[in-house]
């Protein structure tokens, strides 16, 4: 999840408290599903049972587009290996050692042994005009943005977090905050840090959400509002999609449709339907589709076939002036090959939240490469969904329930 900034993607996270959230009131679909679901609270709740129930509901309603479930724990007892990942939080806005490192020590071995994705995150409370449960539980005060000195302290705390190796910085105005974190604060932090910037608390309208994105937030978190008004989730997501995914260029759509044609070839061979084309100066120099079953070769992914074909076309192993179009987010193996080939631009359709490169190897591409996503996303996802639904109906279950 921390890699959304690196692929120029604005993301929305739904925060659910196991003690308060009523899953029966939440309805998910491919058109109304956040990018992430954070699970946690300041006190307790049966996190394991809640996550299991949540994942079952997501799988039934959102299908293969199920977003990752990420723990947002208030203490060590809230850890469960049932989640897809965890924000490994350290409360840097206060000086209570129990929440700087104490709870982290208690949970460290279990988190490591579970092998779920752990995202080292600085948790920084910013005064949102109300006393929050986090303040009461931790015995700490939020940082005050009401003066130049206070703003400087916020910025310096975020710089310190990045120097400490934090992958993400979470600016939190607090549950039920009267006012969200200001655009000026978000922009100031953004200008001084490159870590993934998460912003939450007091955001109740699409306009407030988009203001946070415009100021530099990578991920916006909304909890209380959606728990009270679950019917508005779809409107927020539509607004976000419209703002972050303007009409794809005609060129990108044209070549993605050719990648989809390759995916159809894979489908006809009873392969997982992923297709890829590589373009240089407006011409296709390589194309390929998934052949892992046909060739009995786990490396025979669509991107690998296309890269090999393109290299043969140009007579060399580097493809610096080319664009790769693939229907599903590349896995870490393919992303590594794309990086070694020095491909200039990568465009993919549907995300793969469980096995995509953004989960495991976000910096794998060449430093000068750019990434675009979401081009014909619905069509790319629908093709995958049809394939897996047909497998389930035939009594065959795809290995690991993943895309490849």
pLDDT digits over 38-89, tens only? Answer: 999 877 779 999 999 998 888 887 655 678 999 999 999 999 999 999 999 9
Contact 283, 309 (CB under 8 A): no
Reply yes or no on whether the pLDDT at 399 is more than 70.
no
Instruction: Give mean pLDDT, residues 215-235.
Output: 84
- pLDDT interval class at 5 (50, 70, 90): very low
C-alpha–C-alpha distance, residues 372 and 161, integer Å: 29
Residue 132 confidence (pLDDT): 86
Distance from C-alpha of 369 to C-alpha of 329, rounded to nearest angstrom: 15
> How many H helices and E strands in the chain?
14, 13
Query: In the prediction, which pLDDT does 160 show?
Result: 97
How many CA atoms lie within 13 Å of 136's alpha carbon, on the beta-carbon side? 9
Question: Mind listing the pLDDT tens digit for each residue in 295-326?
Answer: 999 999 999 999 999 999 999 999 998 999 99
The answer, yes or no, to whether residue 234 has pLDDT greater than 90, is no
Pairing of strands 11-16, 168-172: unpaired
Question: Is 339's pLDDT higher than 80?
Answer: yes
Model confidence at 100: pLDDT above 90? yes
Q: Is the model's pLDDT at 398 over the cut of 60?
A: no
Distance in angstroms (rounded) separating the CA atoms of residues 67 and 37: 7
Average pLDDT of the residues of the chain:
88
Helices (DSSP H) in 18-142: which residue ranges?
47-62, 97, 103-114, 133-138
Burial readout 98-137 (b: 16 or more C-beta within 10 A, e: otherwise):
bbeeebbeebeeebeebebbbbbbbbbbbbbebebebbeb
Give the pTM.
Answer: 0.64
- 3 has pLDDT over 80: no
DSSP 240-259: HHHHHSPPPPHHHHHHHHHH
Query: What is the average pLDDT across 17-22?
Result: 88
Rounded CA separation 23/204 (Å): 20
| pLDDT attached to residue 243 | 58
pLDDT the model gives residue 390: 81
What pLDDT does 394 receive?
65
pLDDT at 57: 86
Phi, psi of 380 (to 5 degrees): -65, -45
Mean pLDDT: which of 328-337, 352-361, 381-390 is highest?
328-337
Strand partners, 168: 121, 196
Q: Report pLDDT for 28.
A: 80
Residue range 106-123: mean pLDDT, rounded: 95
Burial class (CB in 10 A: 0-12, 13-18, 19+), 379: middle
In the predicted model, is pLDDT for residue 242 greater than 80? no
Measure the CA–CA gap between 68 and 84, rounded to whole angstroms.
6
The token pair at 179 is: 């006012």
Three-class secondary structure of residue 324 per DSSP: strand
What is the tens place of the pLDDT at every residue in 200-224?
A: 999 988 888 888 988 889 999 998 8
């Amino acid at each position: 999840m921390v890699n959304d900034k690196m692929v120029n993607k604005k993301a929305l996270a739904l925060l659910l408290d196991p003690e308060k959230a009523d899953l029966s009131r939440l309805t998910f679909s491919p058109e109304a599903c956040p990018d992430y679901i954070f699970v946690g609270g300041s006190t307790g709740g049966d996190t394991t049972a809640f996550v299991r129930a949540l994942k079952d509901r997501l799988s039934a309603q959102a299908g293969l587009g199920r977003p990752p479930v990420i723990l947002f724990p208030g203490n060590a007892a809230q850890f469960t290996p049932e989640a897809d990942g965890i924000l490994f939080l350290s409360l840097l806005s206060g000086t209570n050692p129990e929440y700087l490192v104490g709870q982290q020590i208690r949970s460290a071995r279990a988190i490591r042994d579970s092998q779920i994705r752990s995202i080292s995150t600085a948790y920084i409370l910013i005064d949102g005009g109300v006393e929050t449960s986090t303040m009461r539980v931790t015995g700490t005060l939020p940082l005050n943005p009401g003066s130049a000195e206070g703003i400087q302290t916020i910025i310096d705390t975020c710089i310190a977090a990045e120097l400490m190796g934090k992958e993400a910085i979470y600016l939190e105005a607090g549950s039920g905050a009267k006012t969200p974190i200001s655009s000026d604060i978000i922009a100031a932090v953004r200008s001084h840090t490159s870590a993934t910037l998460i912003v939450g608390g007091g955001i109740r309208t699409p306009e407030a959400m988009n203001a946070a994105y415009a100021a530099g937030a990578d991920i916006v978190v909304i909890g209380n509002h959606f728990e009270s008004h679950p019917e508005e989730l779809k409107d927020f997501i539509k607004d976000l999609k419209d703002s972050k995914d303007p009409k794809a260029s005609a060129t990108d759509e044209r070549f993605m449709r050719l990648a989809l044609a390759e995916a159809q070839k894979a489908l006809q061979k009873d392969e997982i339907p992923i297709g890829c084309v590589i373009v240089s100066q407006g011409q296709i120099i390589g194309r390929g589709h998934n052949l892992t079953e046909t060739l009995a070769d786990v490396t025979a992914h669509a991107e690998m076939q296309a890269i090999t074909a393109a290299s043969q076309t140009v007579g060399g192993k580097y493809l610096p002036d080319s664009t790769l179009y693939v229907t599903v987010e590349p896995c870490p193996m393919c992303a590594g090959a794309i990086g070694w080939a020095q491909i200039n631009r990568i465009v993919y359709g549907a995300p793969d939240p469980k096995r995509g490169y953004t989960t495991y190897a976000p910096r794998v591409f060449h430093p000068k490469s750019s990434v675009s996503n979401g081009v014909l996303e619905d069509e790319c996802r629908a093709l995958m969904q049809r394939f897996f639904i047909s497998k389930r109906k035939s009594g065959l279950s795809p290995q690991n329930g993943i895309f490849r």
